[in-house]
């Protein structure tokens, strides 16, 4: 038994270190870095890093770029940008961390999953929609400023669309890309059950974080949603291990980055470099990508919270990740009881 256990551990370590082949062109991570980094650079120039981060969140629509025609690419990004803005608005209207915001986050997650699954949205699927909604759920925003915040996020998405338009004209998508089809109508019942369960898991994990009094409760539903990206129990376990180990190494990197002088231009440059590293590695090895996702998310959260102590953000992150990953793993096991998905 011990020999089998050692062999299983060695196999897990090998999977966490191996670089899988990827069809993603090398220049796409560069475009993704610009889409998410340019708003932060503009925010640094104007002295409003908080608005630059919101624009950067809107620029993350670039991660949903399909291998399709220019027109379909732009339509996809515009719709995703609208989804980002809607998720942020609905979660922010809940009025800050409370059981109401947990309920709203669960409902928003349910609708996001239903739409993404119905239209076969490719990975990262629902994840970044849920991440934006989770961030907004803990931000006690003045409703009078909400249109400004949403407008900045939409402008970030439109900047990404502009860059993608030029990128697509210079480097068209490879031939063979096709537009995804959506499931047949009879499949809707299964999607509703799945979406209801995932919404309850994400909203429930957020409520649990609030009841425990965690400093950064939004990390818990974000981690839960990240783990739920797996399609099977074995993939869920592997993704949980990758996320926890990658986060541990990423926290060390975050400490090193926070030891640098807090210059706005340096922070904006780090956002670009970290995004480039993430998009280069995410299709090759999820665990290695998490090493760079961790300092990026902590960095963005620190700028959104107007100079919150980075030490507090870094130390609290691991507990939040462990709790959220556990919720995602336990809840993901329940998803296996749903009817097996079929395609029309």
**How many angstroms separate the CA atoms of 93 and 123, rounded?**
28
Which residues have C-beta within 8 Å of that of residue 151, sequence separation ≥ 6?
none
Give the largest Cα separation in the chain, rounded: 63
pLDDT tens per residue, the chain (344 residues)? 466 666 766 666 666 666 777 667 778 889 989 999 999 999 989 888 889 989 999 999 998 988 888 888 999 999 999 999 999 999 999 877 888 999 999 999 999 999 988 888 877 888 889 989 988 888 777 788 899 999 999 999 999 999 999 998 887 766 555 555 555 555 677 788 888 989 999 999 999 999 988 877 888 898 888 777 755 555 556 666 666 677 777 777 877 777 777 778 888 888 889 888 888 887 777 777 778 887 887 777 666 655 555 566 666 677 787 788 788 778 777 777 766 544 43
Neighbours of 225 (CB within 10 A): 29
- CA 113 vs CA 68, 238, 343: distances in Å: 23, 22, 17
pLDDT at 156: 95
pLDDT at 80: 95
- CA 264 vs CA 53, 155, 269: distances in Å: 12, 20, 9
**How many angstroms separate the CA atoms of 334 and 121, rounded?**
22
Structure tokens at 84: 């980002």
pLDDT at 343: 40
Structure tokens at 68: 């399709």
Q: Is 339 exposed, middle or buried (0-12, 13-18, 19+ CB in 10 A)?
A: exposed
pTM: 0.84
pLDDT at 175: 52
pLDDT at 179: 53
**How many angstroms separate the CA atoms of 217 and 240, rounded?**
18
């Amino acid at each position: 038994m011990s020999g089998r256990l050692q062999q299983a551990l060695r196999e897990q370590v090998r999977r966490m270190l191996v670089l899988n082949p990827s069809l993603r062109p090398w220049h796409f991570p560069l475009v993704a870095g610009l889409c998410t980094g340019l708003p932060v650079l503009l925010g640094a120039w104007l002295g409003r890093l908080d608005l630059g981060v919101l624009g950067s969140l809107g620029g993350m629509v670039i991660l949903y770029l399909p291998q399709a025609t220019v027109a379909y690419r732009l339509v996809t990004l515009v719709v995703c940008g609208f989804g980002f803005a809607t998720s942020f608005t609905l979660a922010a209207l809940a009025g800050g961390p409370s059981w109401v915001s947990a309920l709203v986050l669960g409902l928003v997650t349910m609708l996001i999953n239903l739409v993404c699954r119905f239209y076969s949205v490719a990975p990262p699927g629902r994840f970044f929609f849920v991440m934006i909604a989770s961030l907004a759920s803990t931000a006690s925003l003045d409703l009078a400023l909400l249109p400004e915040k949403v407008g900045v996020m939409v402008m970030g998405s439109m900047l990404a669309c502009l860059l993608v338009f030029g990128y697509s004209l210079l480097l068209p998508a490879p031939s063979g890309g096709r537009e995804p089809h959506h499931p047949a109508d009879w499949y809707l019942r299964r999607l509703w059950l799945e979406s209801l369960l995932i919404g309850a898991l994400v909203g429930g994990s957020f409520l649990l974080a609030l009841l425990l009094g965690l400093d950064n409760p939004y990390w818990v539903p974000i981690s839960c949603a990240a783990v739920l990206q797996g399609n099977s129990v074995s993939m869920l376990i592997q993704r949980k291990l990758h996320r926890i180990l990658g986060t541990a190494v990423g926290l060390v990197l975050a400490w090193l980055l926070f030891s640098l002088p807090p210059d706005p231009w340096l922070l904006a440059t780090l956002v670009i470099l970290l995004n480039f590293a993430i998009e280069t590695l995410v299709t090759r090895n999820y665990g290695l990508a998490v090493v760079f996702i961790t300092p990026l998310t902590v960095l963005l959260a620190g700028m959104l919270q107007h100079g919150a102590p980075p030490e507090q953000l870094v130390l609290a992150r691991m507990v939040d990740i462990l709790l959220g990953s556990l919720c995602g793993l336990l809840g993901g096991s329940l998803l296996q009881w749903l009817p097996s998905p079929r395609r029309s």
